[in-house]
Amino acid sequence: MEALILVLHVLAAVVIIALVLLQQGKGADAGASFGGGASQTVFGSQGGGSFFGKMTALFALIFFLTSFGLAFFASEQAKSVSGALDFVPSAPQVEETVALPELGDKKKTTSDLPVTE
């Protein structure tokens, strides 16, 4: 189910990007008044402004709903992981002591590398 919502989410994002890029800017109408060929558009002489606006709003709604769905699945998954961690027994603390050599206890070595015992 989560994978389906994720696919819908990505597709909605791509469609929103495409719809926004296909829409005309507000200054595009000035060129049409000088014979820009507005009557030869696919969506009629009014253009596809309202169509693209409605489609963008629809896919924006789908994008937001899938966002909420993915957030819900993520929160449920986080609850199940944190709930499982409550039952893990704590590991015993291991104290590691390091013996430091005393100053008078030096061994003669022929190398510059420290001696590990």
- pLDDT (tens digit per residue) in 59-77: 999 999 999 999 999 998 8
- Residues 52/22, Cβ–Cβ less than 8 Å: yes
Q: Is the pLDDT of residue 117 over 60?
A: yes
Give the span between the Cα atoms of 41 and 47, in whole angstroms.
6
Cα–Cα distance list, 51 to 18, 20, 54, 55 (Å): 14, 12, 5, 6
Q: Provide the mean pLDDT of the chain.
A: 76
What residues does each domain of the chain span?
Answer: 49-78
Q: What three-state secondary structure class fits 82?
A: helix
> What is the average per-residue pLDDT within 46-67?
88
pLDDT for position 66: 97
